[in-house]
Structure 1
């Protein structure tokens, strides 16, 4: 992912979109906000959104800490 700082590079939206065709862009605005511009593939877009979702990532971390787990085999037996 390439980073573009708009305070040092003045680019049009068209130029940013052309650049994003080749590689995702992390664009930093003059006021410090950051944006991601990339081609839209449904799966890739969903992955990118989930990577930015701190609540989702925290939930995954909590799941990893769980000690009382059930094996896949046990789930399969219970479903029969």
Structure 2
């Protein structure tokens, strides 16, 4: 197996990886997600994944912690 084959196999595996991951939400947010999941007749996981897909472009626009710290330091 070549490195290219290994890379392709790893990329394919990462797309279908369904390992459990714990996420922690404030109680009120979790309740809202549960209500929307029930309304949509979907799982909590589906709602969170869909929310991420819809919001990720906006989230990527947010400054990183390092960007904010740099801006604050230069304001003296």
Pair in the same fold by TM > 0.5: no
Instruction: Between the two structures, name the one with larger relative contact order (CA 8 Å, sep ≥ 6).
Output: 1
TM-score bucket of the superposed structures, by smaller chain: under 0.3
TM-score after normalising by structure 2: 0.28
Higher strand share: 1
Higher helix share: 2
Q: Which has the larger radius of gyration?
A: 1
